[in-house]
Amino acid sequence: MGLDLYNQKRDFAKTAEPEGKPGRKGGNRFLIQKHDATRLHYDFRLELDGVLKSWAVTRGPSLNPQDKRLAVEVEDHPVAYGTFEGTIPKGQYGGGTVMMWDEGTWEPLDDPHKGLKAGNLKFRVHGKRLGGEWALVRMKPRPQDGGRANWLLIKHDDAAAREDAAEAWLETQATSITTGRRMEEIAANTHSEWRSRPRDTPPNRQKIKSTLEFIEPELATLALSLPRGKNWVHEIKFDGYRTQALIENGEVRFLTRTGLEWTHRFRPLPDYLAQMRVTSAILDGEIVAVDEGGRADFKSLQATLSGEADVPLQYYVFDILHRDGEDLRGLPLMERKAQLQKLFKGRDFGGRIHYSEHFTEDAADLKDRLCALDQEGLICKRADAPYRSGRHRAWLKVKCHKRQEFVIGGFTLSKAGRQGMGALLIGYYQEGRLTYAGKVGTGFTQDSAIDLRRRLDLIAQKDNPFSDIPAEFKRGAHWVEPHLVVEVQFGEWTSDGRLRHPSFQGLREDKPAQDIHRDRPLRPTEVRKTEDEPTARKPRRRAPVSKTSAKDEVDGVAISSPGRVVFPGSDITKKDVAEYYLSVAQQILPHIAGRPISMIRCPEGIGGQCFFQRHLTQAAVPHVKDTGIQVNGREDDFVMIEDERGLISLTQWGVMEIHPWGCLAATPDRPDRLIFDLDPDPEANWADVVAGAAEVRERMAEFELQSFLKTTGGKGLHIVIPIQPEHDWDAIKAFTRAVAESMAHDSPQRFVAQASKAKRKGRIFVDYLRNDHTATAVAPYAVRARPGAPVAMPVAWGALSPDLDPAGFTLENTPAHLKRRKADPWADMTTLNQRLSGHILKALNIL
């Protein structure tokens, strides 16, 4: 097609879009730009022969192979367009907002020229959001197409495919993969480098070359104990990315600890920092993502930078190296910090840029408090020391957890057949050789596992990169080039140099693999050698952070880290959760014992990484058993418990939420419960949710079925109907779907039977999808992994009213509620003998 048409449609004196010039041939870039013009669409682009072949996908891409997305072929774009994010002025062609939504590489599965000519282009993409195999299939021309070439974008059924509703998935991918901004932020941001030029601005303006250069940062040495003495000050150790900020004439650049420029990835922080009253400066600090509890969380930061989450980024500045042409590195630390603090006086920088305070006393007490809140630890600095690049003992780091970076050398596949991988094989460099440190199989979310697998597939190799990996760990291993660095938290090093209880925290893209070595901390005697004028330690006040001793038991089950606060902003500890579950064991066990269960595990509390799990891990968990059942002919080690100790063992394992299947493990193909989940849109009327629950009850009564009600600890309600296990999953799902669709048909203004959030607007989704093989619903009396520790609670039908709060029961108030209530509203649930008549199913054309 060429670029003539592209150039003809644009006035480059009025738009910041790049002029159309062919690029070098042989490139294979893939990208998608979200474009809010006359209507919102996604521009899908593949680099071929020096241009970007382009299609406008009206509803956005879908990872579901069942979906066929309309893709309208548009003019070729220049390769330089692949960095465009900003606004196109109104009145110009394509006027509106443009976001960089995905980027990566692509490879054709057949001859791409023949595929385009024949109207059947098959290819594989390696993007940050999309992956796997795809096809673009040209449709036959129709009179109503107006001469447009319409294609269909179709996902092939492979490991990257997913059955989720595409619209709901797209809503979770609402930020730019290069700047982290939403569409409205891009449209409003007047500081954007790619924002459209005013009419009077020359189209080829030149940037002023920066005179500031990256300075290798000073690094802290790991220590086992805190230094003592008046010449030491202490700062909070942040869980984020060490970042140097270079400010010059209102322009800001962010550089990683190795000098990589990540300004675009940390938007909008550069725009806030540009407001600092200084002509030029070099600042040293840490970029973090802060959760709702005020805790800096590295996994949230990783998820935000990868587009999986949207947590506001913040920059904590703890040092200044240059200011207005003056090199400050030779000054003592406290003089440098005094100059830095003046720059923050009277300014708030939108609550995003902060001066990092220091502390001179009670460092041990401060560390205890930080560790109780599951923070990183402390950085201890000599108050009189100059700033020196490299690792020195003038800065010491004392951590709350054992945690460091490792290099990935291989991975294993999941024996459960899940997407992604089973475990990572990791190591560190020692005398130039990659030394094996262990296997990491926990800490991943489904998205992070799939994303990591895509990255690993790109660097696959045949040779084992480790110098010393034992033979038993080689079996089933897939080797990769040792380039990727991950951060791992663990319990201890074993005597043979392996990690105990490692957990994946995230990728570290700011550190080269060759720099990763085993952290060997300074021992207390070595720390004392660094102390200047040592003084006796003052008596310290211990914060009331732990309600238990270091070793504790609940119902005979040992609870590790019993005093760990697992709900930030409260004093609820890991042991509190275990004791709660023990207190409700008689109520909850009839609904979970002997059933396959899925779980939400939060090993570090809900302020850390939480993930969904339904399989046993390689390490045995006491009192937690394998169901022995098969799904699709495959044994997948599905989890089951049978008694109180099994329940408490789940909490020791980091389990917060418990979600049983709608069947017993003894009859996995015959469900014994029907579940309707009333899931309201945020704009839906709560009174309609209440009326919907009553309507489900009435409809079940018409089939002579008694139903039971529970709150979810969230925003909706569950209606549960026990039945004899006589019908298979397909029949039960078809029946509940028929009921949901009937409700939506009768009251379309209130109910919807489709999962699409767009169609749910202001209405209630009557979710019947929990009635499927391996599907689950939260158990009654189960704690939810949400702020405030809400609990799913059975309630009597007489309590159903607009005053009922679906999240009003919590871990802390539930025991008192159970003591007050006169009867268990679910007392008959497990003994009720009722059947879903086969005649009803036949009448509905289900049997």
**Which residue type does 79 have?**
V
The pLDDT of residue 207 is above 60? no
Contact predicate 320/527, CB 8 Å: no
417 pLDDT tier (thresholds 50, 70, 90): low
Tell me the pLDDT tens digit for each residue of 724-761.
Answer: 999 999 999 999 999 999 999 999 999 999 877 778 88
Q: Where are the alpha helices (DSSP H) in 60-182?
A: 112-118, 166-171
pLDDT (0 to 100) of residue 298: 82
**Average pLDDT score over residue span 434-441:** 91
Tell me the pLDDT tens digit for each residue of 506-521.
Answer: 888 777 787 888 888 7
Largest CA-CA distance found in the chain, in angstroms, rounded: 90
The pLDDT of residue 534 is above 70? no
192 pLDDT tier (thresholds 50, 70, 90): very low
Q: How many residues does the chain have?
A: 847
d(CA 582, CA 592): 14
The reply to whether 237 belongs to the active site is yes
Contact predicate 560/577, CB 8 Å: no
Q: Would you state the CATH architecture of domain 673-843? A: Alpha-Beta Complex (3.90)
pLDDT (0 to 100) of residue 189: 59
Question: What residues contact 305, with CB distance under 8 A and at least 6 apart?
Answer: 180, 265
Structural domain boundaries in the chain: 4-176, 218-399, 402-515, 552-646, 673-843
pLDDT (0 to 100) of residue 545: 34
Q: What is the mean pLDDT of the chain?
A: 84
CATH number for 218-399 (one of 3.90.1150.10, 1.10.3720.10, 3.30.470.30, 3.40.50.300): it is 3.30.470.30
pLDDT (0 to 100) of residue 67: 86
d(CA 678, CA 682): 12
Same fold, 402-515 and 673-843: no
Q: Which of 53, 128, 155, 237 is catalytic?
A: 237
550 pLDDT tier (thresholds 50, 70, 90): very low
Q: Would you state the CATH architecture of domain 402-515? A: Beta Barrel (2.40)
d(CA 155, CA 122): 10
d(CA 96, CA 76): 19
> Which residue in this structure is represented by tokens 């009077």?
200
**Average pLDDT score over residue span 580-586:** 94
DSSP string across 341-354: HHHHTT--GGGTEE
Contact predicate 282/321, CB 8 Å: yes
Least confident of 12-21, 565-574, 609-618, 772-781: 609-618
Q: What are the CB-based long-range contacts (under 8 Å, 24+) for 827-835?
A: 828/706, 829/590, 829/591, 829/708, 829/720, 829/722, 830/590, 830/591, 830/722, 832/706, 832/722, 833/724, 834/704, 834/705, 834/706, 834/722, 834/723, 834/724, 835/723, 835/724, 835/726
* Tokens standing for residue 27: 């490139």
Q: Among candidates 145, 45, 168, 24, which has minimal Cα distance to 98?
A: 45
The pLDDT of residue 538 is above 70? no
**Average pLDDT score over residue span 316-332:** 92
In DSSP terms, which residues pair with 436 in a beta bridge? 427
Tell me the pLDDT tens digit for each residue of 334-380.
Answer: 999 999 999 998 888 888 899 998 888 667 777 777 777 667 788 88
pLDDT (0 to 100) of residue 536: 32
The pLDDT of residue 328 is above 60? yes
* Tokens standing for residue 31: 């990208």
d(CA 787, CA 561): 20
pLDDT (0 to 100) of residue 750: 95
- pTM of the complete model: 0.42
d(CA 522, CA 543): 26
pLDDT (0 to 100) of residue 547: 38
